Structure 1
Amino acid sequence: MISCTPFSSTFAQDKTIKPVHIEVDLTREKGPLKPIWAWFGYDEPNYTYMKDGKKLLTEIAKLSKVPVYVRVHSLLVTGDGEAALKWGSTNAYTEDAQGNPIYNWTIVDKIVDTFIERGMKPIAQIGFMPEALSTKPQPYRHHWKPGDNYNDIFVGWAYPPKDYNKWAELVYQWVRHSVEKCGQKEVESWYWELWNEPNIPYWKGTTEEYIKLYDYTADAVKRALPTARIGGPEVTGPGDKNSQKFFRAFMDHVVNGKNYVTGKTGTPIDFITYHAKGAPKLVDGHVQMNMGTQLRDIDKGFEIVASYPTLKNLPIIIGESDPEGCAACSEDYSPQNAYRNGTMYSSYTAASFARKYDLAQARGVNLAGAVTWAFEFEDQAWFRGFRDLATNGVDKPVLNVFRMFGKMPETRVEVKSGLAYDYVRVRDKSVRDEVDINALASKGTKSVAVMVWHYHDDNLPGSDAPVEVKVTGLPGKTVKLTHYRIDQKHSNSYEVWKQMGSPQSPTAAQITQLEKAGQLQSLGAPSRVKVTKGETVLKFDLPRQGVSLLQLRWE
């Protein structure tokens, strides 16, 4: 067996963390590595076609080998299309003086076209309520900003319709228009979903009124395009008993309820959606994440779906899957969110996504996607601390984790257990004791990729970890190794920006430098690594909150 240490000169120097041994066996397949990470979303739909929004969408589309799905709010909200925090509008539906519908798809089309031009697909969120249809239309437009009461956003758009038939016709017209504009085959590849988090004040109606709205919506979608995919209910926090009550009421109705439109039993559903969030807080002046909270919500949702025999094999989309719940709540007003600019967000993302695969497999459910609810905020201060993927057109470290995922081949392979944490321990206890150093691995016909992370819930300085990765089942006598890295010195625009003095008006040259620093970088040049009897061993030091991707290729 040949050992190779192409990037490490300090492997034996750090005595505070014991060497971590990770074994990857290419002969033990664990099924497809579904691109559950290739799903993104955000509150403000009008950012989609703005300068930095289009730039970021282009980069997101390029990092994935498969079409990326994008979910946005407010596609039916009344307004002039002005973008603002936690707000968006399209003016898709208004009425004349006699109450007759006026449909205007200009802004909706502009949003969808921006996706499709990049090979992306919409998760077309049917919501929220147009002003002319709302049972309580005033006040309608909010002007929320960080530091304000979050409940201030729930105004006229959050209420049920005063006429369910008019609502259904609006949905029918939207789907029919989409087919006429984009073609049946294209629209069949979309997901249509109803509303967002109806178990909290995003929906100002009752549970039964949401169920009624779903029946009218599903019927309208299927009338316009019988092969369209419709789903829900996008509840948040399935670990909460009230959320479970809402979720199960919806699922019970889908299976056994009397349909409000047809009078028959049940209602169409093609996929199931819900949200799961973590819960960071400040502890002794530093951020402490809580990955366990998020994983427990994910697992409870899986458990609920699995309890319905006729529904358990449907695709599940975790419609928002994040370290906490408010992307637009900036660090300056919410200091527990100070993890977002640096590498803690990156390592959390790597470690949590790996466990989503494990949880789905353990519950025997069909996880199709997990939406990262993060995008960009146009014309805001540099690195203000929003939960975003880029700032002023410069990519943040977290986006490079998704670039790593995009480089992983399609078949998952076994990473030997026996490490400090498995998905059960992280779900039940989070990462509060020793650090979580683990890996996710996959193979293709001529390549293998191993993503390794060094994560802890506490955002505190810590020692580098000496890591040894043994890969078995390799062909030939050599493979080409490229080692990608996210840490303080690599793939990290935030650290470069701080080294510049944290400028809020960087020069053109500085912006170019930041853009370069925001890309995924390798740790040294690619090298040839010897393989003996199908094995190679790679040794390197991995900083706390760092992520490595080891990519091995052969001819």
Structure 2
Amino acid sequence: MRTVVPDRGQGRLSEAWRYCVGTGRFDLALRRDYQESLALVQREIGFRHIRGHGLLSDGAGVHRPYEHAGERRVRHVFTYVDQVVDAYLDLGIRPFLELGFMPSGLASGEQTVFWWHGNVTPPASHAEWAELVRATLRHLVGRYGLDEVRTWPIEVWNEPNLKEFWQDADEAAYHRLYEVTAHAVKEVDAGLLVGGPAISPGADEWLPRFADFVAARDVPCDFVSRHAYSSGPAQHVPFGVHQTLMPAEALLEQFATPRRQLAGGPLAGAPVHVTEFNSSYRPDNPVHDTAFHAAYLAPVLAGGGEVCDSFAYWTFCDVFEEIGVPASIFHGGFGLLTHRQIKKPTYHLYAFMARMGEEVLARGADHLVTRHGDGRVSVLAWAPADVTGGDPVTGHQVRLSVPVGPAGSAFLLRSSVSEEHGNAWAAWRELGRPASPAARELDVLREAAEPARSHRALPVRDGRVELDLRLGAHEVTLAELTPVLVDETPPWWDDRRLLGLGEENPA
């Protein structure tokens, strides 16, 4: 059955999918591999904001207590912060500030998380914490300007509903931290954007209580945030895990939950930012590296902007060390890129989205159709991703009647990733899974990571192109249709006279 795409637009395509992207801890941005990876991502995708942990952790070196004349004092040092933020802005991406974790010199306890020991205890002094927040934001405003910093959302902590990220998952203690922090932010400037509570899946009951708390205490809150993952419990193997997955619709449901929960309450209408999302919450699950993953997330990217204001992929690259230094170039990391800038299939899903038009023409269970201002039409289509473990679907058909306007023909450029194409993980496996590929192997993997591309001319009848896309296993394809309005072939030219294109050198 062919789907007739209407000529009339259905509204603008939301950019919620590119508003923000996740990153490893703050000070990793000082590394060459990190900055090269981010530069590539920004050239081909172009995210607007970037969010990660560790802005106030010891690795960034901001909070520096010392003694002088027998008195404890604190110096705030922004040497690394300036280098990182300067690099971000040079690459056209702005911070989405996450205030955390606790500097060891201000912490009330010794509980930490991750290989790099981020402290997750409340401050020993809320007054000193508030001054740390004020000092950091005053420095940023002074260096980058108030108008600029007002565009950087400021999120208070990370997943306080989990005891691993906030001591005892103490909700009342988080509310106190949020209250102190939000007031400190607004003391710097009332126009700065502050929000939370950055909860993880499985803690939906926190959000209505958070809304009631900020309303009852008259605490500023400019946006609400949460995270979304769709994997089951981890089944550990050495240097990796396996997990089941819920259908991709579960992610969209999580994206939509805050608006539904907050409707009619004190934070109804507040922007909703999903500041982390992925399939698995583990940085060592090989599903992240696969073609399956791109097909699985395609409907999420296509539809997520309908139910929330942003959803940030966790993370843009594998320069990421929560459970230690990765043991292999492909290790199931969260990133769109591996170390050394090898593109994963999900990278191409994002790159395809970046080439979609501004106007939505049609949506379906397996496609999204958009139009550019110059009349070009882009179609994103994807094969089903079966989370039950069955054999992948091959030969999935997407058949569309696409409006391109009056033209003699349309030029089709098709780019695809699948189990067979644009799948560097599969090539790495066939190479024998080299943990640290040599230079030539890196070149091979980068070449294998590129999408398959094809092109041809399609006839236009009554202003429409009949587009038939047959998709391979876990294929995600971008079909770009450009109307050919003028054919400038000279009247004396005959392609049939070229060897291999027609008759054999006719007289």
- Shorter-normalised TM-score: what interval? 0.7 to 0.9
> What amino acid maps onto 1:339 in structure 2?
V
Q: Tell me, which stretches of 5 or more residues in structure 1 are unaligned?
A: 1-19, 79-88, 145-152, 259-265, 331-336, 361-366, 422-437
Which residue does 2:453 correspond to in 1? 523
Residue 315 of structure 1 corresponds to: 271
**Residue 203 of structure 1: aligned partner:** 166
Which of 291, 310, 319 is the equivalent residue of 1:377? 319
Shift of residue 280, structure 1, vs aligned partner? 4.5
Q: Deviations over 1:97-155 (max 9, x none)?
A: 2321111111222222221110001111111111122111x3558647xxxxxxxx6x7
Name stretches of at least 5 consecutive residues in structure 2 with no aligned partner.
Answer: 236-240, 486-507
Asked whether the equivalents of residues 286 and 460 of structure 1 are also in contact (C-alpha less than 8 Å), the reply is no
| Matching residue within 117, 134, 137 for 2:90 | 117
Q: Distance in 1 between matches of 2:114 and 2:155?
A: 24
Structure 2 counterpart of 1:36, one-letter code = W
Residue identity opposite 2:141 in structure 1: V
Is the 8 Å Cα contact of residues 277 and 322 (structure 1) preserved in structure 2? Answer: yes
Q: Is the 8 A contact 2:111 2:121 kept in 1?
A: no
2: CA distance, partners of 1:316 / 1:47: 27
The whole-number CA distance in structure 1 between the counterparts of 2:230 and 2:257 is 14
Work out the CA distance in 2 between the residues paired with 1:406 and 1:225: 34
* 1:478-498 deviation digits (Å, cap 9, x = unpaired): 222211101123222222223
Q: Are the structure 2 counterparts of residues 346 and 142 from structure 1 closer, same or farther at C-alpha, using a change threshold of 3 Å?
A: closer
Aligned to 1:37: 18
Structure 2 matches for 1:366-515, cutoff 5 A? 367-374=308-315, 375-377=317-319, 380=326, 381-393=328-340, 394-415=342-363, 438-446=366-374, 447-454=376-383, 455-477=385-407, 478-515=409-446
Note if contact 2:419-2:474 (Cα within 8 Å) is conserved in structure 1.
no
Question: What is aligned with 1:147?
Answer: none
Partner of 2:259: 302
In the alignment, the residues of structure 2 paired with residue 505 and residue 218 of structure 1 have an alpha-carbon distance, to the nearest angstrom, of 45
Identity of aligned residues (%): 22
Match of 2:64 among 83, 94, 98: 94
Q: Counterpart of 1:253? A: 213
Residue among 143, 146, 159 paired with 1:184: 146
After superposition, the C-alpha distances for 1:526-552 in whole angstroms (9 at most, x for unaligned) are 333222112211223211211011112
C-alpha deviation, 1:356, in angstroms: 2.0
Indicate the SS of the match to 2:299: helix
- Distance 1:462-1:139 versus aligned 2 partners, 3 A rule: closer
Selected match of 1:48 from 29, 47, 59 = 29
- Partner of residue 76 from structure 1, selected from 50, 56, 65: 56
User: What is aligned with 1:424?
Assistant: none
Task: Decide which moves more: 99-108 or 469-478.
Answer: 469-478
2:410 maps to a residue whose letter is V
CA distance in 2, matches of 1:510, 1:22: 43
CA contact 1:472–1:536 (8 Å) conserved in 2 = yes
2:296: which partner in 1? Answer: 348
Residues 313/31 of structure 1: CA separation in 2 closer, same or farther (3 Å cut): farther
Aligned partners of 2:403 and 2:231: how far apart in 1?
Answer: 40
Write the distance in 2 (CA, Å) between the matches of 1:533 and 1:276. 45
The 1:391–1:177 alpha-carbon spacing in structure 2 relative to 1, beyond 3 Å, is: same
After TM superposition, give the deviation of residue 208 of structure 1 in Å: 2.2
The CA RMSD measured in Å over matched residues stands at 2.5
How many Å separate the matches in 1 of 2:289 and 2:17?
23
CA change 1:198–1:547 in 2 (3 A) is: same
DSSP-derived class of the 1:471 partner: strand
| Partner residue, 2:505 | none
SS state at 1:25 partner:
coil
TM superposition shift of 1:62:
1.2
Paired residue type of 1:46: D
**Paired residue secondary structure (2:465):** strand
Aligned equivalent of 1:429: none
3-state SS in 1 of match to 2:40: helix
- Pair 1:351–1:496, CA change in 2 (3 A): same
1:188-245: per-residue Cα shift (whole Å, max 9, x none)? Answer: 22111100011112112632222222122122212212221111110111xx3xx233
> Quick check: 1:33–1:442 contact (8 Å CA) kept in 2?
no
Q: Distance in 2 between matches of 1:474 and 1:141?
A: 54
Cα 1:141/1:534, change in 2 over 3 Å:
closer
8 Å contact kept, 2:2–2:401: no
Q: Is the 8 A contact 1:70 1:123 kept in 2?
A: yes
CA contact (8 A) 1:410 1:444 kept: yes
Q: Name the structure 2 match of 1:81.
A: none
Between the aligned partners of 1:286 and 1:41, the Cα distance in structure 2 is 22
Change (3 A) 1:414 1:141: closer
Larger displacement relative to structure 2 (268-277 or 118-127): 268-277
Counterpart residue identity of residue 310, structure 2: G
In 1, the alpha carbon distance for the partners of 2:213 and 2:250 equals: 28
Residues 466 and 297 of structure 1, relative CA distance in 2, 3 Å threshold: closer
Q: Output the CA distance in 2 between the equivalents of 1:506 and 1:220.
A: 48
What amino acid is the match of 2:155? E
Pair 141,344 (structure 1): closer, same or farther in 2 beyond 3 Å:
closer
Does the CA contact (< 8 Å) of 2:88 and 2:94 recur in 1? Answer: yes
2:330–2:435: 8 Å Cα contact kept in structure 1?
Answer: no
Shift of 1:91: 1.7
Task: Flag the structure with more relative contact order, 1 or 2, with Cα contacts below 8 A and sequence separation at least 6.
Answer: 1
Structure-2 change in CA distance of 1:553 and 1:386 (3 Å): same
1 CA distance for matches of 2:158 and 2:170? 14
For 2:219 and 2:434, locate their aligned partners in 1 and report how far apart those are by CA, in whole Å. Answer: 55
Distance in 1, matches of 2:25 and 2:4, equals: 43
Q: TM-score, normalized by length of structure 2?
A: 0.85
Q: What CA distance in whole angstroms lies between the structure 1 residues aligned with 2:347 and 2:448?
A: 12
Flag the 1:348–1:466 CA change in 2: closer, same or farther, 3 A. Answer: closer
Residue 106 in structure 1 maps to residue 58 in structure 2: no
The equivalent of 1:7 in structure 2 is none
Distance 1:213 1:533, change over 3 A: same
Cα gap change, 1:293 to 1:110, in 2 (>3 Å): same
Aligned 8 A contact 2:231 2:243 in 1: no
